[in-house]
Amino acid sequence: MAQLFHIGVKALCKNKAGQYLLLEVNTAKFEDKDTKYWDIPGGRIDEGGTVEDTLKRELKEELDLDFSGNKEFFTAVVSNIQIPTDHGKVGLVLMIYTVELPDDAELKISEEHLSHEWVEPAEAAKRLDHKYPKEFTDKLA
């Protein structure tokens, strides 16, 4: 049987110092509650939605930001994590865009996350290797 995939859009948020914003995932509602990991903001495209719609929605939901800046395509990868559905697990293809956040952006993280941190690219690569393949993390470092 062919593998099914969902499409996700991720925002690789960067500041003027070249650091990336990482979010510590709240795994309390997950099957594997013990595996702690970091991620970047994003989510799946709704039916009829666009990349732009998804980025704006997810930055609002996860960081309480009204994003109207520029986005730049970074890469697309297949996630290391599969998503449980009513019909078994499906893969996740992630389209990743860099977005530069203003230095004065006030971040208010959602209940999906426990904390946030701005980190250097090499540290981001290490922290994101649970969910993202090596082809992505190598581009960060």
Structure pTM?
0.89
Residue 34: predicted pLDDT: 67
Residue 88: predicted pLDDT: 83
Pair type for strands 88-100 and 113-119: unpaired
Record the tokens describing residue 24, joined without a space.
Answer: 């510590």
Domains of the chain: 5-140 (3.90.79.10)
Residue 103: predicted pLDDT: 78
Residue 48: predicted pLDDT: 92
Q: What is the pLDDT along the chain (141 residues), one digit of tens a residue?
A: 567 888 999 999 999 999 999 999 998 876 666 678 899 999 999 889 999 999 999 999 999 999 888 899 999 999 988 888 887 888 899 999 999 988 788 999 999 999 999 999 999 999 999 899 999 999 997
- What is the DSSP secondary-structure string of 73-126? EEEEEE-S--EEETTEEEEEEEEEEEEEPPTTPPP---TTEEEEEEE-HHHHHH
The CA angle 38-39-43, to the nearest 5 degrees, is 150
